[in-house]
Amino acid sequence: MHFTDLGLAEPLLRAVREQGYDIPTPIQVQAIPAVLKGGDLLAGAQTGTGKTAGFVLPMLQRLMAQPQKKDARGRVAIRALILTPTRELAAQVEESVRTYGKHVPLTSMVMFGGVGMQPQIDRLRKGVDILVATPGRLLDHHGQRTLDLSHVEIFVLDEADRMLDMGFVHDIKKVLAIVPAKKQSLLFSATFSDEIKALADKLLNQPALIEVARRNQTADTIAQKVHPVGRERKKELLAHLIKSGDWHQVLVFTRMKHGANRLTDYLNDNGITAMAIHGNKSQTARTKALADFKRGELQVLVATDIAARGIDIDQLPHVVNFELPNVPEDYVHRIGRTGRAGAQGEAISLACVDEDIFLRDIERLIKRSIPREVVPGFEPPAGEKAEPIVLGRMTIGIGGTQRNGGGGGGDRRGARPAGARPGNGGGGAPRRDGGGGGRAGAGRAPAYKR
């Protein structure tokens, strides 16, 4: 099948051709006709499968088929709202809207926190057809009455699973109360948890269901490998792999922000250009790091899970888990940054004995064993014993999961050995728009995890 077989208008097909695409991906083959019909959609697809074009292209076609609307102030009305969990993903999606809509008379803008509101207000005053936003900043604008969502015809919830991970469920409900009840709603998620299904029941009306990959499945185009190593030699091993393999574009994941900073300093001190991207970095710094990495001017990008959402790089060859995630679903999202759109990729995990519990949970989730390969000269020390891993206010490992002092959000989805009990949530001020984690007490991933 070709894009020309999907019922898309010529201006959209021309934009697709200019991007060098001819054959649609499986999610595009199913999603584009479904969205064009005008009904609601619940779609499950691995990251990197082309799902953004799967909803952007038919959305553009449906909007261009109808005349623009004016709001109460006489401005071009917002007719499509795309909600994403992070700033980087919002920017990526809006870029796709502009790319595929370059030959159609529709306008778009992106809106997220971490930057001043006034430029966004100025842009809204000019009117916009399509708005891509993160939940927190969108609600800030609504609270200040700087935007009007009463004319929204198409509502897209992208990366819905990550939305829930970050504790945005209450913000999503607030947005749903603002937009019209009668609209086309599209929900995209990499995984279908019980919470996702509950959200879909509230948002969608008799939706079409598309699932192009088995739940929590990793792509066959990704070669996965674990290098067992002593906990004190991970940095040295990573530098060795990068230099000996002559790697020039490597995305590296850490569990926490301070760990990303320390690893970045180590790599730069050893002649490997690296920058960190996480919630404590300014939006300017995050944007520059991502742009330099995409251009190949930066050898290594060290990221936490939330900040990495929206990193969409063709032919990214290597993803490294410097630290295994304590939430096994995050492993699927992390390694999905490589092996995209049919390309081959490599996902390497550096695992010490402390992380055996995380590795077991990951393999249980993906229903496969990940090959182990010891790098000569970096053998794990004989007799090294597992030690608990401290994650902010939580300790995970020997003896179960324990709370370290007051506050701290519970992590119902974290790795838990036998007998461990999840936290119940609690204090801790949340941060929105991917600025540092989920909302404490929401029963999802804890704020300190990122």
Q: What is the DSSP string of 397-419?
A: STT--EE-SS-----TTS---TT
Global pTM?
0.61
pLDDT tens figures, 132-152? 999 999 999 999 999 999 999
Q: What is the pLDDT of residue 307?
A: 60
Judge contact between 87 and 310, C-beta under 8 A: yes
Question: Which amino acid, 57?
Answer: L
**Is residue 148 exposed (0-12), middle (13-18) or buried (19+ Cβ within 10 Å)?**
middle
Tens digit of each residue's pLDDT (9 = 90 or more) over 299-319: 999 988 766 655 666 678 889
**Alpha carbons 311 and 48: distance in angstroms, whole number:** 10
Kindly give the parts of the chain with pLDDT less than 70.
46-48, 213-220, 306-314, 339-343, 392-394, 397-450
How far does the chain reach from its first CA to its final CA, in angstroms? 41
> Residue 219's pLDDT is what?
66
Give me the domains of the chain, ranges plus CATH numbers.
Answer: 3-211 (3.40.50.300), 222-366 (3.40.50.300), 388-450 (no CATH)
Residue 426's contacts (CB-CB under 8 Å, 6 or more residues apart) are: 406, 407, 408, 409, 410, 440, 441
Question: Smallest Cα–Cα separation from 289: which of 274, 268, 270?
Answer: 274
- For residue 255, give Cα distances in angstroms to 191, 260, 272, 446: 21, 8, 21, 12
What would the pLDDT profile of 414-450 be if each residue is shown by its tens digit? Answer: 333 333 333 333 333 333 344 333 333 333 333 333 3
Residue 281 has a pLDDT of: 77
pLDDT in tens, 350-372: 999 999 989 999 998 888 899 99
Q: What are the two backbone dihedrals, phi and then psi, of residue 342, each rounded to the nearest 5 degrees?
A: 85, -5
With a CB cutoff of 8 Å and minimum separation 6, the contacts of 156 are 55, 59, 80, 81, 82, 83, 185, 186, 187, 188
Q: CB-based burial of residue 2 (10 Å sphere; 0-12 exposed, 13-18 middle, 19+ buried)?
A: exposed
